[in-house]
Amino acid sequence: MRALIIQHEPDGPPGLLSRHLAQRGYRVDIVQIMQPGSTHSEIPFPDPRSYDLVAPMGAVAGVYDHHLIGSWIHREVAMLQLALDAGVPMFGICFGAQAITMALGGHVEPSPSYEIGWYTYELQHPRIAAGPWFTWHGDRCLLPAGATELARTTHCTQLFREGRAAGVQFHPEVTREMVAGWVSKCPPDYFVERGTTGAALIAAFDEFGELAAKQATELFDWFLDDVAR
């Protein structure tokens, strides 16, 4: 079995997801779209029909930031639409979930409020933990008709499913190293303006990270066993 992971940025790796896919017997191919210091990209997207699963990861930009990522976001959405038409299972994380929403015919917009930290969600599925989940975003998905919302906060959808596609607005894939790297790239004022601190995010990872990794395994298995099949 082959899995295609779309990694948009150098510091946005698939983390726990790629490890779990390998444990489940997938050969994982990772295509990185943007290179350090640039949002422009001419890197071609593979044909998703050659894969048994496609997983687009997160990104700093929103899918609507065409002035930044216009050189490739339309090509990515077209690739995801091709996967949908071919029945290829897809699992999107954060930006990746937003791109899948666009491919499904939905819409993405800025959220009324940033969500950065560890959250517990209103959940509608017995196999998936309500939290705590690591969350870092300022956008929200407006789902098309037919898509099922499975988890949410006050401001936005956190988990959805449509056929053999699913997306999460949070980050089940993260490791402590990933979170620490993201924190290091942001000045203290960034977090103060959003009601937290970088130190608090890392301290909370030390508290919740082990549990979140277990929950991520259960989430990934739900996707592979129930959605992808």
**Residues designated as active site:** 94, 171, 173
Q: From start to end of 127-164, where are the E strands? A: 133-142, 148-152, 157-162
Instruction: State how far the Cα of 222 lies from the Cα of 218, in Å rounded to an integer.
Output: 6
For residues 46 and 71, the answer to whether their CB atoms sit within 8 Å is: no
> How far is C-alpha 140 from the chain's CA centre?
12
Return left, alpha or beta for 4; rule: phi > 0 is left, psi -120 to 50 is alpha, else beta.
Answer: beta
Instruction: State how far the Cα of 89 lies from the Cα of 4, in Å rounded to an integer.
Output: 11
Between helix 176-184 and helix 198-222 the angle, nearest 10°, is 140
